[in-house]
Amino acid sequence: MSDLLRALPSIQKPHNSPGRPPAMPLTTADEGNSSSSDSSASTNDSIDTLRPSESTLPTPNPWPQYFEQELFLESNSENQHAKYHVYLTPPRDPAKGPLFICHHGAGATGMSFACFAAAVKKEMPHAGILSLEAREHGSVITSPSGEEILDFSIETLVKDTLAMIELVKQRQGWHKLPPAVFVGHSLGGAIVTRIAADGVLGAQLVGFAVLDVVEGSAIEALMHMKTYLASRPASFASVDQAINWHIRSRTIRDLESAKASVPSLMIRDGERWIWRTDLTRTQKWWEGWFTGMSGLFLRGRAAKALLLAGTDRLDKELMVGQMQGKFQLTVIPEAGHFIQEDVPEKTAHLMIEFFKRNDRSSLVLPPKVSDLLAQGKRV
Cβ-proximal residues to 245 (8 Å cutoff; 6+ apart), any chain:
31, 32, 33, 47, 50, 236, 251
Cβ-proximal residues to 185 (8 Å cutoff; 6+ apart), any chain:
102, 103, 104, 105, 108, 112, 113, 211, 212, 213, 338, 339, 340
Q: Cite the beta strand spans of the chain per DSSP E.
A: 34-35, 69-76, 81-89, 99-103, 128-132, 140-142, 180-185, 205-211, 233-236, 266-269, 272-275, 303-308, 328-331
**Among 285, 124, 103, 364, which Cα is nearest to 211's?**
103
Q: Is 217 part of the annotated catalytic residue set?
A: no
User: Catalytic pick from 212, 240, 254, 342?
Assistant: 212
Beta bridge partners of 183: 102, 209
Phi/psi at 254 (5° precision): -120, 120
Q: Is 143 part of the annotated catalytic residue set?
A: no
User: Catalytic pick from 35, 39, 131, 186?
Assistant: 186
Q: Is 337 part of the annotated catalytic residue set?
A: yes
Phi/psi at 133 (5° precision): -130, 130
- Alpha-carbon distance 47 to 278, whole Å? 21
- Alpha-carbon distance 128 to 120, whole Å? 8
What is the identity of the amino acid at 373?
A: L
* CA distances from residue 145 to 76, 77, 184 in whole angstroms, order as listed: 12, 12, 32
Pairing mode, strands 128-132 and 140-142: unpaired
Peptide bond into 58 cis (omega under 30): no
Beta bridge partners of 26: none
- Number of neighbours of residue 303 by Cβ within 10 angstroms: 20
User: Catalytic pick from 103, 139, 337, 342?
Assistant: 337
What is the identity of the amino acid at 207?
A: G
- What are the catalytic residues? 186, 212, 337
